Structure 1
Amino acid sequence: MTFFLQQQCFGEVYEKTLLALGLTLIASSSFAYNGQIDGGFTYFDYDDDITDSSGAFDVKGTLYFNPVNAKNGPLNEAAFLGHSSNASLAYTYGYWESKNIAGAEQDNKSNNISAGIEYFMNSFTLKAPSVLPEQMLKAN
Protein backbone atom coordinates (compact mmCIF):
# COMPACT_ATOMS: atom_id res chain seq x y z
CA MET A 1 0.00 0.00 0.00
CA THR A 2 2.81 2.43 0.87
CA PHE A 3 4.59 1.71 -2.43
CA PHE A 4 1.38 2.40 -4.37
CA LEU A 5 0.83 5.75 -2.58
CA GLN A 6 4.44 6.86 -3.17
CA GLN A 7 4.22 5.91 -6.82
CA GLN A 8 0.90 7.74 -7.24
CA CYS A 9 2.19 10.91 -5.52
CA PHE A 10 5.38 10.87 -7.61
CA GLY A 11 3.32 10.51 -10.78
CA GLU A 12 1.18 13.54 -9.89
CA VAL A 13 4.26 15.68 -9.16
CA TYR A 14 5.86 14.52 -12.42
CA GLU A 15 2.73 15.36 -14.42
CA LYS A 16 2.45 18.81 -12.79
CA THR A 17 6.10 19.51 -13.54
CA LEU A 18 5.69 18.56 -17.20
CA LEU A 19 2.53 20.67 -17.43
CA ALA A 20 4.29 23.71 -15.93
CA LEU A 21 7.28 23.25 -18.25
CA GLY A 22 5.00 22.96 -21.28
CA LEU A 23 3.05 26.10 -20.37
CA THR A 24 6.29 28.00 -19.83
CA LEU A 25 7.59 27.00 -23.26
CA ILE A 26 4.33 27.95 -24.95
CA ALA A 27 4.16 31.31 -23.15
CA SER A 28 7.78 32.20 -23.83
CA SER A 29 7.56 31.38 -27.51
CA SER A 30 4.42 33.45 -28.14
CA PHE A 31 5.78 36.79 -26.88
CA ALA A 32 8.25 39.16 -28.51
CA TYR A 33 11.82 39.29 -27.26
CA ASN A 34 11.62 42.67 -25.47
CA GLY A 35 13.63 42.01 -22.33
CA GLN A 36 16.05 39.69 -20.65
CA ILE A 37 16.80 38.79 -17.03
CA ASP A 38 20.09 37.13 -16.10
CA GLY A 39 21.08 35.87 -12.68
CA GLY A 40 23.93 34.03 -11.08
CA PHE A 41 25.19 32.67 -7.78
CA THR A 42 28.63 31.46 -6.77
CA TYR A 43 29.73 29.87 -3.52
CA PHE A 44 33.20 28.73 -2.50
CA ASP A 45 34.02 26.72 0.61
CA TYR A 46 37.76 26.96 1.16
CA ASP A 47 40.06 24.35 2.68
CA ASP A 48 42.66 26.78 3.99
CA ASP A 49 43.37 28.20 7.44
CA ILE A 50 42.16 31.75 6.78
CA THR A 51 39.14 31.89 4.49
CA ASP A 52 35.95 30.15 5.54
CA SER A 53 33.74 30.89 2.53
CA SER A 54 32.93 33.46 -0.11
CA GLY A 55 30.20 33.96 -2.62
CA ALA A 56 28.34 36.32 -4.88
CA PHE A 57 24.80 36.79 -6.12
CA ASP A 58 23.95 38.94 -9.12
CA VAL A 59 20.92 39.78 -11.19
CA LYS A 60 20.71 41.92 -14.33
CA GLY A 61 17.70 43.09 -16.28
CA THR A 62 17.83 44.45 -19.82
CA LEU A 63 14.94 46.16 -21.57
CA TYR A 64 15.15 46.55 -25.35
CA PHE A 65 13.53 49.61 -26.92
CA ASN A 66 12.33 47.59 -29.94
CA PRO A 67 11.66 43.85 -30.18
CA VAL A 68 14.80 41.85 -30.96
CA ASN A 69 14.78 40.04 -34.30
CA ALA A 70 15.97 36.50 -33.58
CA LYS A 71 15.29 34.96 -37.00
CA ASN A 72 18.70 35.57 -38.62
CA GLY A 73 20.96 34.07 -35.97
CA PRO A 74 21.17 32.32 -32.63
CA LEU A 75 18.69 33.51 -30.00
CA ASN A 76 21.41 33.88 -27.38
CA GLU A 77 23.27 36.47 -29.49
CA ALA A 78 20.37 38.04 -31.39
CA ALA A 79 20.40 41.31 -29.42
CA PHE A 80 24.16 41.72 -29.90
CA LEU A 81 24.15 40.85 -33.60
CA GLY A 82 21.09 42.99 -34.30
CA HIS A 83 22.55 46.05 -32.51
CA SER A 84 19.43 46.40 -30.37
CA SER A 85 19.28 49.58 -28.30
CA ASN A 86 18.62 48.90 -24.63
CA ALA A 87 18.74 50.05 -21.03
CA SER A 88 19.99 47.79 -18.24
CA LEU A 89 20.07 47.66 -14.47
CA ALA A 90 22.16 45.25 -12.38
CA TYR A 91 22.68 44.41 -8.70
CA THR A 92 25.58 42.42 -7.24
CA TYR A 93 26.05 41.24 -3.65
CA GLY A 94 29.34 39.66 -2.59
CA TYR A 95 30.69 38.40 0.70
CA TRP A 96 33.86 36.93 2.21
CA GLU A 97 34.04 35.27 5.63
CA SER A 98 37.18 34.34 7.54
CA LYS A 99 37.69 31.60 10.06
CA ASN A 100 38.16 32.32 13.74
CA ILE A 101 41.88 33.02 14.11
CA ALA A 102 43.11 33.88 17.61
CA GLY A 103 39.60 34.92 18.61
CA ALA A 104 39.02 37.27 15.67
CA GLU A 105 36.80 36.86 12.62
CA GLN A 106 36.33 39.18 9.68
CA ASP A 107 33.36 39.44 7.33
CA ASN A 108 33.41 41.64 4.23
CA LYS A 109 30.22 42.37 2.32
CA SER A 110 29.69 44.52 -0.76
CA ASN A 111 26.66 45.77 -2.66
CA ASN A 112 26.98 47.22 -6.15
CA ILE A 113 24.29 48.68 -8.38
CA SER A 114 24.99 49.52 -11.99
CA ALA A 115 22.92 50.97 -14.78
CA GLY A 116 23.65 51.45 -18.43
CA ILE A 117 22.24 52.39 -21.78
CA GLU A 118 23.31 51.36 -25.28
CA TYR A 119 21.96 53.25 -28.25
CA PHE A 120 22.73 52.11 -31.79
CA MET A 121 22.10 54.30 -34.83
CA ASN A 122 23.46 53.02 -38.15
CA SER A 123 27.21 52.72 -37.47
CA PHE A 124 27.18 55.02 -34.42
CA THR A 125 27.11 53.47 -30.94
CA LEU A 126 26.59 55.35 -27.68
CA LYS A 127 27.27 53.46 -24.44
CA ALA A 128 26.74 55.09 -21.07
CA PRO A 129 27.49 52.76 -18.18
CA SER A 130 27.46 53.90 -14.59
CA VAL A 131 28.33 52.06 -11.40
CA LEU A 132 27.00 53.10 -8.03
CA PRO A 133 29.05 51.20 -5.43
CA GLU A 134 28.00 50.97 -1.83
CA GLN A 135 30.71 49.21 0.14
CA MET A 136 29.78 47.97 3.57
CA LEU A 137 32.75 46.51 5.38
CA LYS A 138 32.07 44.89 8.70
CA ALA A 139 34.70 43.50 11.03
CA ASN A 140 33.69 41.32 13.94
Structure 2
Amino acid sequence: MKKLGLATALLLAMTGAQAYQVEVQGQSEYIDNTVNDKNFTGAVQGTYYFKNVDSSKGPLAEAAFLNQASNASIAYNYGEYDVDGIADKTVHTIGAKAEAYVPTKVVPVYASASYSNTITDNKAAGVADDHGDRYALEVGALAAPNFLVAVGYTSAANQFALDAFNIMSNGIVKAAGETKTLGEDQDAITARAKYVGAIDGTNMAVGFESGIVYGDATAYQFKTDLYLNPKLSTGVSYAASSFVGTPDSAWGANVNYFITPAVAVGANYVYANAEGAKNDTQTVGVNAKFRF
Protein backbone atom coordinates (compact mmCIF):
# COMPACT_ATOMS: atom_id res chain seq x y z
CA MET A 1 0.00 0.00 0.00
CA LYS A 2 2.88 2.35 0.76
CA LYS A 3 4.34 1.75 -2.70
CA LEU A 4 0.94 2.37 -4.29
CA GLY A 5 0.54 5.61 -2.38
CA LEU A 6 3.99 6.80 -3.43
CA ALA A 7 3.33 5.92 -7.07
CA THR A 8 -0.01 7.77 -6.96
CA ALA A 9 1.60 10.87 -5.45
CA LEU A 10 4.31 10.84 -8.12
CA LEU A 11 1.76 10.45 -10.90
CA LEU A 12 -0.26 13.40 -9.62
CA ALA A 13 2.87 15.52 -9.40
CA MET A 14 3.80 14.75 -13.00
CA THR A 15 0.33 15.16 -14.52
CA GLY A 16 -2.33 17.31 -12.94
CA ALA A 17 -1.29 18.67 -9.55
CA GLN A 18 -2.86 22.11 -8.96
CA ALA A 19 -0.90 22.91 -5.77
CA TYR A 20 2.76 22.59 -4.95
CA GLN A 21 5.20 23.50 -2.19
CA VAL A 22 8.59 22.78 -3.81
CA GLU A 23 9.99 23.89 -7.15
CA VAL A 24 13.28 22.70 -8.66
CA GLN A 25 14.58 24.32 -11.83
CA GLY A 26 17.67 23.85 -13.92
CA GLN A 27 19.12 25.69 -16.90
CA SER A 28 22.14 25.80 -19.17
CA GLU A 29 23.44 28.47 -21.55
CA TYR A 30 25.84 28.23 -24.48
CA ILE A 31 27.90 31.41 -24.88
CA ASP A 32 29.26 32.62 -28.22
CA ASN A 33 31.18 35.90 -28.25
CA THR A 34 33.46 37.68 -30.69
CA VAL A 35 36.64 36.14 -29.33
CA ASN A 36 35.44 32.65 -28.46
CA ASP A 37 32.54 30.23 -28.86
CA LYS A 38 33.29 27.43 -26.38
CA ASN A 39 31.82 28.77 -23.16
CA PHE A 40 28.81 27.48 -21.23
CA THR A 41 27.01 27.66 -17.91
CA GLY A 42 24.82 25.31 -15.88
CA ALA A 43 22.60 26.30 -12.97
CA VAL A 44 20.08 24.80 -10.56
CA GLN A 45 17.74 26.35 -8.00
CA GLY A 46 15.47 24.83 -5.37
CA THR A 47 12.64 26.80 -3.73
CA TYR A 48 10.51 25.82 -0.73
CA TYR A 49 7.21 27.64 -0.19
CA PHE A 50 5.99 27.85 3.39
CA LYS A 51 2.39 27.19 2.28
CA ASN A 52 0.94 25.32 -0.70
CA VAL A 53 0.89 27.40 -3.89
CA ASP A 54 -2.41 27.23 -5.78
CA SER A 55 -1.63 27.11 -9.50
CA SER A 56 -5.22 26.77 -10.73
CA LYS A 57 -5.70 30.46 -11.55
CA GLY A 58 -3.69 32.64 -13.90
CA PRO A 59 -0.42 31.84 -15.68
CA LEU A 60 1.30 28.77 -14.23
CA ALA A 61 4.66 30.50 -14.50
CA GLU A 62 3.51 33.23 -12.09
CA ALA A 63 1.61 31.07 -9.60
CA ALA A 64 3.92 31.89 -6.68
CA PHE A 65 3.76 35.65 -7.34
CA LEU A 66 -0.02 35.63 -7.73
CA ASN A 67 -0.33 33.70 -4.46
CA GLN A 68 2.10 36.05 -2.65
CA ALA A 69 3.93 32.91 -1.56
CA SER A 70 6.69 33.43 1.00
CA ASN A 71 9.64 31.16 0.35
CA ALA A 72 13.29 30.26 0.82
CA SER A 73 15.66 29.33 -2.04
CA ILE A 74 19.15 28.08 -2.71
CA ALA A 75 20.93 28.24 -6.07
CA TYR A 76 24.17 27.15 -7.70
CA ASN A 77 25.73 28.24 -11.00
CA TYR A 78 28.75 26.80 -12.82
CA GLY A 79 30.43 28.55 -15.73
CA GLU A 80 33.34 27.90 -18.07
CA TYR A 81 35.07 30.83 -19.78
CA ASP A 82 38.06 30.14 -22.01
CA VAL A 83 39.60 32.60 -24.46
CA ASP A 84 42.90 31.46 -25.97
CA GLY A 85 45.75 33.63 -24.74
CA ILE A 86 43.46 35.92 -22.71
CA ALA A 87 41.53 34.03 -20.04
CA ASP A 88 40.88 30.52 -18.81
CA LYS A 89 38.65 30.26 -15.76
CA THR A 90 35.86 28.37 -14.05
CA VAL A 91 33.30 30.31 -12.02
CA HIS A 92 31.18 28.86 -9.19
CA THR A 93 28.37 30.90 -7.61
CA ILE A 94 26.19 29.73 -4.73
CA GLY A 95 23.35 31.70 -3.17
CA ALA A 96 20.61 31.71 -0.55
CA LYS A 97 17.50 33.89 -0.57
CA ALA A 98 14.31 34.41 1.42
CA GLU A 99 11.17 36.30 0.34
CA ALA A 100 8.23 37.22 2.57
CA TYR A 101 4.80 38.66 1.84
CA VAL A 102 3.09 40.04 4.95
CA PRO A 103 -0.59 41.12 4.87
CA THR A 104 -1.44 44.41 6.59
CA LYS A 105 -4.59 46.51 6.95
CA VAL A 106 -3.41 48.77 4.13
CA VAL A 107 -1.51 46.70 1.51
CA PRO A 108 0.54 43.50 1.52
CA VAL A 109 4.17 44.25 2.41
CA TYR A 110 7.12 42.54 0.71
CA ALA A 111 10.67 41.93 1.94
CA SER A 112 13.61 39.87 0.70
CA ALA A 113 17.21 39.17 1.63
CA SER A 114 19.86 37.28 -0.33
CA TYR A 115 23.52 36.32 -0.19
CA SER A 116 25.73 35.03 -3.01
CA ASN A 117 29.32 33.84 -3.04
CA THR A 118 31.37 33.64 -6.24
CA ILE A 119 34.59 31.65 -6.54
CA THR A 120 36.64 32.25 -9.69
CA ASP A 121 39.21 29.56 -10.41
CA ASN A 122 41.71 31.14 -12.79
CA LYS A 123 43.67 28.46 -14.65
CA ALA A 124 45.87 30.78 -16.71
CA ALA A 125 49.49 31.02 -15.55
CA GLY A 126 50.19 33.91 -13.20
CA VAL A 127 46.53 34.83 -12.65
CA ALA A 128 45.31 34.64 -9.06
CA ASP A 129 42.00 33.10 -8.05
CA ASP A 130 39.16 35.42 -7.01
CA HIS A 131 36.55 35.17 -4.26
CA GLY A 132 33.70 37.67 -3.84
CA ASP A 133 30.58 38.06 -1.67
CA ARG A 134 27.36 39.85 -2.46
CA TYR A 135 24.44 40.90 -0.24
CA ALA A 136 21.06 42.34 -1.14
CA LEU A 137 18.02 43.58 0.78
CA GLU A 138 14.65 44.70 -0.56
CA VAL A 139 11.45 46.12 0.90
CA GLY A 140 8.27 46.96 -0.95
CA ALA A 141 4.52 46.60 -1.20
CA LEU A 142 1.82 45.43 -3.57
CA ALA A 143 0.49 48.88 -4.39
CA ALA A 144 -2.36 47.30 -6.40
CA PRO A 145 -3.45 43.70 -7.04
CA ASN A 146 -0.52 41.79 -8.55
CA PHE A 147 1.56 44.98 -8.81
CA LEU A 148 4.75 44.99 -6.74
CA VAL A 149 7.07 47.94 -6.22
CA ALA A 150 10.27 47.52 -4.22
CA VAL A 151 13.47 49.37 -3.38
CA GLY A 152 16.64 47.91 -1.98
CA TYR A 153 20.33 48.03 -1.26
CA THR A 154 23.00 45.74 -2.62
CA SER A 155 26.65 45.46 -1.74
CA ALA A 156 29.49 43.52 -3.35
CA ALA A 157 33.17 43.16 -2.65
CA ASN A 158 35.56 44.63 -5.18
CA GLN A 159 36.15 41.06 -6.34
CA PHE A 160 33.88 39.65 -9.06
CA ALA A 161 30.63 38.73 -7.28
CA LEU A 162 27.58 37.50 -9.22
CA ASP A 163 24.00 37.31 -7.95
CA ALA A 164 23.05 33.62 -8.20
CA PHE A 165 19.34 34.44 -8.52
CA ASN A 166 19.86 37.09 -11.18
CA ILE A 167 21.58 34.40 -13.27
CA MET A 168 18.53 32.14 -12.89
CA SER A 169 16.06 34.93 -13.75
CA ASN A 170 17.88 36.83 -16.49
CA GLY A 171 20.81 34.77 -17.75
CA ILE A 172 24.56 35.06 -17.40
CA VAL A 173 25.15 37.98 -19.79
CA LYS A 174 22.77 40.35 -18.02
CA ALA A 175 23.84 39.15 -14.57
CA ALA A 176 27.53 39.66 -15.38
CA GLY A 177 26.90 43.11 -16.84
CA GLU A 178 24.97 44.18 -13.77
CA THR A 179 27.72 42.82 -11.51
CA LYS A 180 30.45 44.74 -13.35
CA THR A 181 28.36 47.90 -13.16
CA LEU A 182 27.99 47.46 -9.41
CA GLY A 183 31.70 46.71 -9.05
CA GLU A 184 32.49 50.33 -9.94
CA ASP A 185 30.98 51.53 -6.64
CA GLN A 186 30.50 48.29 -4.65
CA ASP A 187 27.33 49.68 -3.04
CA ALA A 188 24.18 50.58 -4.93
CA ILE A 189 20.51 51.39 -4.59
CA THR A 190 18.07 49.18 -6.47
CA ALA A 191 14.45 49.59 -7.49
CA ARG A 192 12.07 47.36 -9.40
CA ALA A 193 8.43 46.94 -10.31
CA LYS A 194 6.48 43.87 -11.39
CA TYR A 195 2.91 43.39 -12.64
CA VAL A 196 0.91 40.41 -13.89
CA GLY A 197 -2.66 40.85 -15.07
CA ALA A 198 -5.34 39.08 -17.08
CA ILE A 199 -6.46 40.33 -20.50
CA ASP A 200 -10.21 40.87 -20.20
CA GLY A 201 -12.43 38.50 -22.13
CA THR A 202 -9.67 35.94 -22.77
CA ASN A 203 -7.67 33.31 -20.90
CA MET A 204 -4.55 35.31 -21.77
CA ALA A 205 -2.46 37.47 -19.45
CA VAL A 206 0.46 39.88 -19.64
CA GLY A 207 3.39 40.54 -17.35
CA PHE A 208 5.85 43.42 -17.04
CA GLU A 209 8.98 43.79 -14.94
CA SER A 210 11.56 46.56 -14.76
CA GLY A 211 14.56 47.20 -12.55
CA ILE A 212 17.47 49.58 -11.99
CA VAL A 213 20.79 49.42 -10.14
CA TYR A 214 22.16 52.87 -9.34
CA GLY A 215 25.75 53.46 -8.16
CA ASP A 216 28.65 55.29 -9.84
CA ALA A 217 27.34 53.67 -13.01
CA THR A 218 23.78 52.60 -13.77
CA ALA A 219 22.27 49.38 -15.10
CA TYR A 220 18.62 48.85 -15.91
CA GLN A 221 16.42 46.26 -17.52
CA PHE A 222 12.88 45.72 -18.76
CA LYS A 223 11.06 42.56 -19.76
CA THR A 224 7.55 41.64 -20.73
CA ASP A 225 5.76 38.31 -21.22
CA LEU A 226 2.58 37.44 -23.05
CA TYR A 227 0.80 34.40 -21.62
CA LEU A 228 -1.13 33.00 -24.56
CA ASN A 229 -2.84 30.65 -22.12
CA PRO A 230 -1.95 29.49 -18.59
CA LYS A 231 0.59 27.01 -20.00
CA LEU A 232 2.33 28.86 -22.85
CA SER A 233 4.18 32.18 -22.78
CA THR A 234 6.59 34.15 -24.93
CA GLY A 235 8.51 37.25 -23.99
CA VAL A 236 11.18 39.82 -24.81
CA SER A 237 13.69 41.66 -22.66
CA TYR A 238 16.14 44.55 -22.79
CA ALA A 239 19.04 45.53 -20.51
CA ALA A 240 21.67 48.26 -20.65
CA SER A 241 24.57 49.60 -18.60
CA SER A 242 26.41 52.92 -18.50
CA PHE A 243 29.65 51.21 -17.39
CA VAL A 244 32.04 51.04 -20.35
CA GLY A 245 33.43 47.68 -19.23
CA THR A 246 30.19 45.89 -20.16
CA PRO A 247 28.11 45.41 -23.31
CA ASP A 248 26.13 48.60 -23.91
CA SER A 249 22.83 46.79 -24.42
CA ALA A 250 21.36 43.31 -24.49
CA TRP A 251 18.18 42.10 -26.19
CA GLY A 252 16.53 38.81 -25.37
CA ALA A 253 13.62 36.56 -26.30
CA ASN A 254 12.16 33.52 -24.56
CA VAL A 255 9.42 30.91 -24.78
CA ASN A 256 8.17 28.69 -21.96
CA TYR A 257 5.63 25.86 -21.90
CA PHE A 258 4.12 23.83 -19.07
CA ILE A 259 3.71 20.26 -20.30
CA THR A 260 1.67 19.64 -17.15
CA PRO A 261 0.99 21.98 -14.21
CA ALA A 262 4.04 20.41 -12.56
CA VAL A 263 6.54 20.20 -15.46
CA ALA A 264 7.77 23.04 -17.68
CA VAL A 265 10.41 23.52 -20.36
CA GLY A 266 11.72 26.65 -22.02
CA ALA A 267 14.32 28.25 -24.25
CA ASN A 268 15.87 31.71 -24.46
CA TYR A 269 18.19 33.78 -26.63
CA VAL A 270 20.20 36.92 -25.76
CA TYR A 271 22.25 39.20 -27.98
CA ALA A 272 24.53 41.71 -26.24
CA ASN A 273 26.09 44.53 -28.25
CA ALA A 274 29.41 46.08 -27.19
CA GLU A 275 30.10 49.33 -29.02
CA GLY A 276 33.75 49.95 -29.81
CA ALA A 277 34.91 46.61 -28.37
CA LYS A 278 35.33 43.04 -29.57
CA ASN A 279 33.07 41.34 -27.06
CA ASP A 280 29.66 41.15 -28.69
CA THR A 281 27.98 38.12 -27.15
CA GLN A 282 25.16 35.73 -27.97
CA THR A 283 23.72 33.09 -25.68
CA VAL A 284 21.26 30.26 -26.26
CA GLY A 285 19.74 28.63 -23.21
CA VAL A 286 17.35 25.87 -22.22
CA ASN A 287 15.59 25.33 -18.90
CA ALA A 288 13.20 23.01 -17.08
CA LYS A 289 11.07 23.21 -13.92
CA PHE A 290 9.55 20.52 -11.70
CA ARG A 291 6.98 21.19 -9.00
CA PHE A 292 5.67 18.92 -6.27
Work out whether the TM-score is over 0.5: yes
Secondary structure at the counterpart of residue 55 of structure 2: coil
Superposed displacement of residue 30, structure 1: 4.4
Partner of 1:16: none
| Selected match of 2:100 from 107, 116, 119 | 119
Q: Which among 53, 61, 85 is matched to residue 68 of structure 1? A: 53
Q: How does 1:28-67 map to 2 (within 5 A)?
A: 28=14, 29-30=16-17, 32-44=19-31, 50-67=35-52
Relative to structure 1, the CA distance from residue 80 to residue 30 in structure 2 (aligned partners, 3 Å threshold; closer, same or farther) is: closer
Task: Rate the CA distance shift 1:70–1:79 in 2: closer, same or farther, 3 A.
Answer: same
Q: Deviations over 1:32-52 (max 9, x none)?
A: 411111111112356x5x425
Gaps of at least 5 residues in structure 1 are 1-22
What SS does the corresponding residue of 1:134 show, helix, strand or coil? strand
Alignment of 1:1-140 (within 5 A): 26-28=12-14, 29-30=16-17, 32-44=19-31, 50-99=35-84, 104=85, 106-122=87-103, 123-140=108-125
CA distance in 2, matches of 1:60, 1:118: 15
Please list the CA deviations of residues 80-136 of structure 1 after superposition, one character each: whole Å capped at 9, or x if unmatched. Answer: 11110000000001111123xxxx574111100011000111111120111122222
Find the residue that maps to 2:45 and give its secondary structure: strand
Structure 1: which amino acid aligns with 2:116?
A: V
TM-score normalised to structure 2 length: 0.35
Contact 2:48 2:71 in 1 (8 A): yes
Gaps of 5+ in 2: 1-8, 126-292
Contact 2:18/2:56, CA 8 A, preserved across alignment: no
Contact 2:20 2:53 in 1 (8 A): yes
Cα distance between partner residues in 2 of 1:129 and 1:81: 21
Q: Conserved in 1, the CA contact under 8 Å of 2:89 and 2:120?
A: no
Q: Secondary structure at the match of 1:73?
A: coil
The code of the aligned residue for 2:68 comes to H
* Structure 1 residues 45 and 121: CA distance shift in structure 2, 3 A: closer
- For residues 30 and 38 of structure 1, the distance between their equivalents in structure 2, rounded to whole angstroms, comes to 17
Q: What percent of counterpart residues are identical?
A: 33
**For this pair of structures, how many residues does the alignment match?**
112
Shift of 1:53: 1.4
Runs of 4+ in 1 over 4 A off after TM superposition: none
CA distance in 1: counterparts of 2:81 and 2:56, whole angstroms: 43
Conserved in 1, the CA contact under 8 Å of 2:19 and 2:55?
Answer: no
